[in-house]
Chain A
Amino acid sequence: MAEAQTGRRRAKKPRLAVWKFTSCDGCQLTLLDLEDELLAIAEALEIAYFPEATSRPLRGRYDLSLVEGSITTPEERERILEVRRRSRHLVAIGACATAGGIQALRNFADVAEYARIVYARPDYIRTLASSTPISDHVPVDFELRGCPIAKHQLLETVAAFLHGRRPHIPTHSVCAECKLAGNACVLVGAGTPCLGPATRAGCGALCPSFGRGCYGCFGPMENPNPPSLSDRLAALGMEKETLRRFWRSFNAGAPDFRRESARHGP
């Protein structure tokens, strides 16, 4: 009937799938937050699998898979292999999928202890000792950073894959965005601790625009120099323990930030 017909008519459009692993759903919500573009996107490609938004079941292969979330359970470790098999292009979206997310704080702790703190019956809980990015498990075609990802970067990435080109996503630091926004430097001016000099652009220098320091939710820029930033922060009076926590949040599992946080404590 109509369903089968639509199926045929739409078969030529590229098929998009959105997958969730361990996450807060915020990055996939970014797609639904494209209120002005959503229906046009749905015209240009077939939203073939997106359980948060549609009850259409899983079937076949997908031209572009957006993967949100990190791998934290044995089941997820298997499921990501299946997602990779079904996907021509696979893009990891967000800090969870590209660095393990905030839940990667367990990587620095004892997960059994974590489970005991939260659950009266930790034995009901099945989980892995660490939270790891998608690229630790399968080849990833592109990584989009941010906690959450930025709308315009998502649009650019989807458009790029539709046209068979690489997305134009900057890899420089938030500092460049601050200059563009005409912000006075919060670090130099107000002495406010800021991770901007080591953090990748994408947010539009959001936190400094609100008078606070960047907390690194887009993860490391290309070739950052975290030790020199730490020296700067220490000179402002930041203690070792605070420094360790500062580097260890939403992108705690990203190698550049992980190494730096480890220099300041276990």
Chain B
Amino acid sequence: MARKTIKVGYLSRVEGEARLELSIRDGTVRAARLAIFESPRFFEALLRGRHFDEAVDINARICGICPVAYQMSTVHAVEDAFGIRIAGPLRALRRLIYCGEWIESHALHICMLHAPDFLGYESAIAMARDHPQAVTRGLALKKAGNAILAKLGGREIHPVNIRVGGFYRVPRKRELAELVDPLERARDLALETVRWVAGFDFPRSERPYTFVALRHGREYPFNEGRVASSDGLDIPVRAYDAHFEEYQVPHSTALRSRIRGAGHYLTGPLARYHLNADLLRPVAREAAKEAGLGPSCRNPYTSILVRAVEVLHACDEALAILADYEEPEQPAVAVEPKAGVGHGATEAPRGLLYHRYVLDGEGIIRDARIVPPTAQNQAVIEEDLVEHVQRSLDLPEEALRHRCEQTVRNHDPCISCATHFLKLEVERE
């Protein structure tokens, strides 16, 4: 029996550490295992006994790439427990900082991590020799997103200004106005990026995903909405646990998710787009159409295009928020701790991020549950791999390995969140 093993030491250009194992017998891919060996950091455990205000800063440290997402899901869950709703300019500012994180995180993934796959480079830095414009454009976009984070949050990574009830300090109108010029330029760059990416050569694929994302009804979702699926699920966030479950497999330190009684599902840009495409800002909707995207997109390789559309959306949305901004009277609403359970879900750049807290009357966390997007997507990534490797088995090994990595990177997995990533082992019998 001929048996062959291909090894990739470490999955690069993803945030975290993981290994990929494929078993192939008689020309058929039997299984693909995405083994996440990110060292567990036990956030849900170390949060017990901490005050809700501390949790906002602690949770940011789950992920350096999307700290705002963790902070947002935290504040929304705690506010849910206390019966607080944030409206007006404070709500708008939260959307604004989330725009910054989408722009920064997506631009990083599109230009630095994923585009090199399509153009055949080991990194964006190598790509910069032949495509200097594309790389500088990506960096400029990323910088514009980071400028929002720095202005409103104090710094790009682990912002210090977000709290339950609002912010520690809100910006003056003229401070925010400084963001307008760079964001107008960023919006042009985002449109150029959509057009650039649209010209890539995408492997063909049509996957039968069940999509899950927030649906808000009036806005493309960031902070709020109901949890909806492409199969008709439509529930309030607080019913999440009743409809979704987490389970564990031996080969991974990340928990995975499925819809109870149904199966695995995909969250992230493709899912958001499927469930909310009509709510994109007109400029982003136009660009999507011009790039050849229909109302839904099931080819995971084109997720990079949807991400580019979302960057354009976020730039335009941020500009709209800036145009309407009126300084709120208080940087935060009054917060009265109350014993109870709170649920929160927001749209991290990589997808739905659910938090649940049990709090006591002093605002101390007694129990915490955090379900990050990559954990939800992990099973689907494996299913994608089985399908795509099967079709690519004739490729030379180097090319096959590359295709595998690209397939994983389609979903911009953030392994730090899911608990980091990639060593590929192909076992051929």
Is chain B a partner of chain A in the same complex? yes
On A, residues with C-beta under 8 Å from B are 20-30, 32-33, 35-36, 38-39, 42, 47, 50-58, 72-73, 75-76, 101-103, 105-106, 109, 111, 113-115, 117-121, 124-125, 127, 147-148, 203, 206-207, 209-212, 215, 217, 242, 245, 249-250
| 8 Å CB interface, B332-390 against A | none
Question: In the complex, which of the residues B42, B65, B250 contacts A124, with contact meaning CB atoms closer than 8 Å?
Answer: B250
Give the chain B neighbours of A24 by CB distance below 8 A: 61-64, 67, 416
In the complex with contacts A27-B64, A103-B41, A39-B125 CB distance below 8 A: yes
Give the chain A neighbours of B113 by CB distance below 8 A: 53
- Of B135-143, B209-217, B279-287, B313-321, the stretch lying at the interface with chain A is B135-143
C-alpha gap A23/B43 in the complex (Å): 12
In the complex with contacts A36-B143, A203-B155, A245-B50, A52-B12 CB distance below 8 A: yes
Q: When the two chains form their complex, are residues A210 and B168 in contact, meaning their CB atoms are under 8 A apart? A: yes
Q: When the two chains form their complex, are residues B160 and A53 in contact, meaning their CB atoms are under 8 A apart? A: no
Question: In the complex, which of the residues A21, A53, A105, A125 contacts B13, with contact meaning CB atoms closer than 8 Å?
Answer: A53
B405 CB within 8 Å of chain A: yes
In the complex with contacts A35-B146, A114-B46, A203-B155, A125-B61 CB distance below 8 A: no
Q: When the two chains form their complex, are residues A23 and B255 in contact, meaning their CB atoms are under 8 A apart? A: no
Give the chain B neighbours of A22 by CB distance below 8 A: 39, 41
B15 to chain A, nearest CB (A): 5
Question: In the complex, which of the residues B15, B61, B64, B139 contacts A102, with contact meaning CB atoms closer than 8 Å?
Answer: B61
6 cross-chain CB contacts under 8 A: A101-B41, A103-B41, A117-B48, A206-B154, A207-B160, A250-B61
Q: When the two chains form their complex, are residues A51 and B10 in contact, meaning their CB atoms are under 8 A apart? A: yes
Give the chain A neighbours of B331 by CB distance below 8 A: 211
Give the chain B neighbours of A210 by CB distance below 8 A: 154, 160-161, 168-169
Interface residues of B: mostly helix, strand, loop or mixed? loop
Give the chain B neighbours of A249 by CB distance below 8 A: 54, 57-58
Name 11 extra pairs, CB < 8 A, besides A20-B420, A121-B250, A210-B154: A25-B16, A26-B157, A29-B157, A35-B142, A35-B143, A54-B123, A54-B125, A55-B116, A102-B41, A115-B40, A212-B169
Give the chain A neighbours of B416 by CB distance below 8 A: 23-25
Of all chain B residues, the one with the shortest Cβ separation from A95 is: B61
C-alpha gap A38/B37 in the complex (Å): 29
Q: When the two chains form their complex, are residues B15 and A52 in contact, meaning their CB atoms are under 8 A apart? A: yes
Of all chain A residues, the one with the shortest Cβ separation from B107 is: A35
Of all chain A residues, the one with the shortest Cβ separation from B142 is: A35
In the complex with contacts A24-B63, A35-B142, A57-B9, A211-B169 CB distance below 8 A: yes
C-alpha gap A237/B15 in the complex (Å): 42
Q: When the two chains form their complex, are residues B139 and A35 in contact, meaning their CB atoms are under 8 A apart? A: yes
Q: When the two chains form their complex, are residues A56 and B65 in contact, meaning their CB atoms are under 8 A apart? A: no
B171 to chain A, nearest CB (A): 10
Of all chain B residues, the one with the shortest Cβ separation from A38 is: B139
A1 to chain B, nearest CB (A): 13
Q: When the two chains form their complex, are residues A206 and B155 in contact, meaning their CB atoms are under 8 A apart? A: yes
Number of contacting residues on B, CB 8 A? 66
C-alpha gap A90/B12 in the complex (Å): 22
| Minimum-distance CB pairs A-B, first 8 | A26-B64, A54-B123, A114-B45, A117-B45, A55-B12, A22-B39, A35-B143, A51-B12
Question: 1/0 per position for B94-113, CB-CB distance to A under 8 A?
Answer: 00000000000000100011
C-alpha gap A103/B45 in the complex (Å): 10
Q: When the two chains form their complex, are residues B125 and A47 in contact, meaning their CB atoms are under 8 A apart? A: yes
B86 CB within 8 Å of chain A: no
In the complex with contacts A22-B39, A115-B40, A56-B122 CB distance below 8 A: yes
Question: In the complex, which of the residues A21, A51, A56, A103 contacts B42, with contact meaning CB atoms closer than 8 Å?
Answer: A103
Question: 1/0 per position for B46-59, CB-CB distance to A under 8 A?
Answer: 10111100100110
Question: 1/0 per position for B22-50, CB-CB distance to A under 8 A?
Answer: 00000000000000010111111110111
Q: When the two chains form their complex, are residues A211 and B168 in contact, meaning their CB atoms are under 8 A apart? A: yes
B138 to chain A, nearest CB (A): 9
Question: In the complex, which of the residues B42, B46, B122 contacts A54, with contact meaning CB atoms closer than 8 Å?
Answer: B122
Q: When the two chains form their complex, are residues A103 and B46 in contact, meaning their CB atoms are under 8 A apart? A: yes
Q: When the two chains form their complex, are residues B136 and A39 in contact, meaning their CB atoms are under 8 A apart? A: yes
Give the chain B neighbours of A33 by CB distance below 8 A: 142, 146, 156-157
Of all chain B residues, the one with the shortest Cβ separation from A46 is: B125
B267 CB within 8 Å of chain A: no
A44 to chain B, nearest CB (A): 12
A56 to chain B, nearest CB (A): 5
C-alpha gap A36/B147 in the complex (Å): 13
Of all chain A residues, the one with the shortest Cβ separation from B422 is: A51
Q: When the two chains form their complex, are residues A54 and B126 in contact, meaning their CB atoms are under 8 A apart? A: yes
Q: When the two chains form their complex, are residues B112 and A53 in contact, meaning their CB atoms are under 8 A apart? A: yes
C-alpha gap A27/B61 in the complex (Å): 11
* Residue picked from A28, A102, A121, most chain B C-beta under 10 Å: A102
Q: When the two chains form their complex, are residues B255 and A119 in contact, meaning their CB atoms are under 8 A apart? A: yes
B14 CB within 8 Å of chain A: yes
Of all chain B residues, the one with the shortest Cβ separation from A217 is: B158
B133 CB within 8 Å of chain A: no
Question: In the complex, which of the residues B9, B14, B48, B65 contacts A58, with contact meaning CB atoms closer than 8 Å?
Answer: B9
